[in-house]
Amino acid sequence: MEDPKLEHQQIIAALVAQRPEKIAETATTHWEKLAGEIILVVGQDGFDSLYERSLHLAQAAVSWLPPNPSAADPNSQHFEELGKHLVNQAPADAWAAHSLLLTLFANILASLIGDQLTASLLRSAWAMQLQSQPAKELDDE
């Protein structure tokens, strides 16, 4: 992937740089935190349409990602499904796919509401996860 240039891309790069062993749980946590923040601001429908679109775009590069979720299912089910698919892949591929999906999601959001506001929402969503990051990783970008 290209070097992250925009602030929201740098935040995602820093978030996924840790790569703990349990990718499924980590990815689910990332998405649940993100969903909580985004749904608060743009509503469930807003989040669903963004998630669906980013999954659709990601599938062009990563064919093994889960199919588009049904809007009727709760988000937790979508993320669980995503986790199951990630855990079956080699760690490097799984992390790359997770990073891609998050980046696509944030890119679409940023194209609608701008990089700064998107970055602010991401920081708010992953405050705890980013806190546990060494500060250097963000600075390095």
Partner 1 sequence: MSDKVKINRLQTGVPGFDNLLGGGLPEFSFNLIAGTPGSGKTTLAHQIMFALARPDYRALFFTVLGEPSLKMLRYQQQFSFFDHLKVNESIRFVNLATDLLEGDFDHVLSRIAAEVKEYQPSLVFVDSFRSVVQSARFKDRNAPELQRFVQRLGMQMTSWQATSFLIGEYEGPMNDSSAVFTVADGIVWLTQNTHRNSMVRKMQVVKIRGQAQVPGFHTFRISDDGLRVFPRAIVQPNEMVGGGAASGRVSMGIEGMDEMMGGGLPAGYSLLVVGPSGSGKSILATSFLAEGARCGERGVIAAFEKSPNQLLNKQLQELVSAGHVGVIDTRSLDLSIDETLHDLLQMIDRMQAKRVVIDSLSGFELALAPQFSEDFRGSLYRMVAELTSKGVTILLTSELEDRYTDLRFSPYNSAILADAILVQRYVEIAGQFKRVFSVIKVRGSDHSKDIRLFDITADGIVIGDRLTQYDGIMTGHPKIPQEQVHEHK
Q: Note whether 69 and 57 are within 8 A (CB).
A: no
DSSP line for the chain: -PPP-SHHHHHHHHHHTS--S-HHHHHHHHHHHHHHHHHHHHHHHHHHHHHHHHHHHHHTT-TTSPPPPPTTS-HHHHHHHHHHHHHTS-HHHHHHHHHHHHHHHHHHHHHHH-HHHHHHHHHHHTHHHHHTS-HHHHHH-
**Shortest Cβ 97–partner 1 spacing (Å):** 25
Q: Which of 16, 86, 102, 121 binds partner 1 (CB under 8 A)?
A: 121
Q: Which stretch binds partner 1 (CB under 8 A): 19-27, 58-66, 71-79, 116-124?
A: 116-124
120 binds partner 1 (CB under 8 A): yes
Q: Which of 1, 116, 134, 135 binds partner 1 (CB under 8 A)?
A: 116
117 binds partner 1 (CB under 8 A): yes
Q: Note whether 118 and 50 are within 8 A (CB).
A: no
Site for partner 1 in 60-79 (CB under 8 A): none
Site for partner 1 in 36-55 (CB under 8 A): 39-46
Q: Which stretch binds partner 1 (CB under 8 A): 27-35, 65-73, 74-82, 119-127?
A: 119-127
Q: Which is nearer to partner 1, 41 or 61 (CB)?
A: 41
Q: Amino acid identity, residue 52?
A: E
Residues making contact with partner 1 (CB under 8 A): 39-46, 109, 112-114, 116-117, 120-121, 124
